[in-house]
């Protein structure tokens, strides 16, 4: 993708996401208010080094924070290319709880292996950053034959392979303040039945970041995410929902060791 085409692509994704939102509202799909509080950390072992860690975690609440929606954790290794782009792979785990009438009626786990590539374009002395993230996730979803059965026993694990594409723009309009916007599509590459779409979900996000240090390596981010599920696998009857989500995230690129 050419650099000049990236803003057009982001605009197209936003228009697509907004059209999805209009469609879901027109169909009177279930809507929730939610809050995600967590961290996303890219941690090079040494400054300008090639290897590092990725640590990510969220606590998810429905009705903002009054009811637990689930939790999510990701850990992996990153390899930093000389041009600033990144390769990564690792594992992830999500624990989902029923929080609306479309949810599965029991708590269920989601085990994942992931691989990703992040393509970054930095402009205007670092004040403008475009990034594209290409991620594949192999997922094993715990399921029960009898939804009313008690205990943590699962009769089988449903396999899904998901492709995720995120296009993100970050602009530092002041030394420590930045505006952030991104859109992310989730595509299920092996939709298993007529009750599921290949298009799994879309996330449209708008927020602001504040840097806690002059190097902009430690940041607090606050924003709104419109999350739409299309006949998602985590709903009991394969229906759709929209979550209006407030996200509070600690992000960092702080290396373990300086030069």
Output the pLDDT for position 89.
98
CA-only gyration radius of the chain, Å? 19
* Contact call for residues 224 and 242 (beta carbons, < 8 A): no
Output the pLDDT for position 141.
93
Output the pLDDT for position 109.
96
Q: What's the whole-model pTM score? A: 0.87
Output the pLDDT for position 2.
55
Output the pLDDT for position 84.
87
Structural domains for the chain? 3-252 (2.40.160)
Q: Which stretches in the chain have pLDDT values below 50?
A: 24-26
Output the pLDDT for position 24.
47
Output the pLDDT for position 26.
44
């Amino acid at each position: 993708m050419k650099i000049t085409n990236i803003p057009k692509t982001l605009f197209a994704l936003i228009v697509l996401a907004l059209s999805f939102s209009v469609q879901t509202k027109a169909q009177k799909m279930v809507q929730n208010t939610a809050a995600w509080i967590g961290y996303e950390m890219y941690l090079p072992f040494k400054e300008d080094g090639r290897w590092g860690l990725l640590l990510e975690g969220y606590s998810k609440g429905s009705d903002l924070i009054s009811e637990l929606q689930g939790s999510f954790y990701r850990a992996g290794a990153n390899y930093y290319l000389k041009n600033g782009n990144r390769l990564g792979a690792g594992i992830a785990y999500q624990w989902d709880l029923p929080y609306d009438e479309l949810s599965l009626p029991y708590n269920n786990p989601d085990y994942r292996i992931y691989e990703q590539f992040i393509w970054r374009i930095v402009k205007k002395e670092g004040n403008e950053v475009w990034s594209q993230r290409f991620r594949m996730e192999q997922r094993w979803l715990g399921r029960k034959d009898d939804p009313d059965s008690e205990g943590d026993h699962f009769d089988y694990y449903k396999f899904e392979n998901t492709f995720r594409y995120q296009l993100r723009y970050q602009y530092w309009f002041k030394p420590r303040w930045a505006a952030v916007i991104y859109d992310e599509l989730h595509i299920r590459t092996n939709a298993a039945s007529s009750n599921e779409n290949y298009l799994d979900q879309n996330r449209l996000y708008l927020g602001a970041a504040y840097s806690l240090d002059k190097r902009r390596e430690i940041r607090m981010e606050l924003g709104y995410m419109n999350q739409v599920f299309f006949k998602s696998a985590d709903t009991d009857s394969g229906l759709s929902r929209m979550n209006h989500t407030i996200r509070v995230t600690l992000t960092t690129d702080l290396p373990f060791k300086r030069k």
